[in-house]
Amino acid sequence: MHCQHVYRCCGSVNIGDRMLTRLLCAPCAESPNSLIERGHYEQARTVLRRTRGVPDVELEFEDIYQASQAVREPCNRARQ
């Protein structure tokens, strides 16, 4: 009897934790990394400008873009 109560309680906490995570993460902007990965370059620049508070983000954008390409390159070779 006691074990069933503990199981139900843990399940409720787990569901509540998932709901709280979704609620807190819903208004978050997408990261520049994920936007670049999907080819949304101008949106990535906009997010970088807003996050950094400076108009010129080209160096950081280029760094993220190059890192994205470097990660993608081995995957492309493996598919060939």
How high is the pLDDT of residue 25? 62
Return d(Cα 15, Cα 17) in angstroms, integer. 5
Rounded average pLDDT per 10-residue block, the chain, 80 residues: 50 63 66 93 94 94 94 65
How high is the pLDDT of residue 80? 59
How many Cβ atoms are within 10 Å of 31's Cβ, its own excluded? 14
Alpha-carbon distance values, 69 to 26, 36, 39, 60, 65 (Å): 28, 10, 11, 14, 6
Return d(Cα 29, Cα 27) in angstroms, integer. 6
How high is the pLDDT of residue 1? 47
Q: Which helix (H) or strand (E) holds 4?
A: helix 2-25
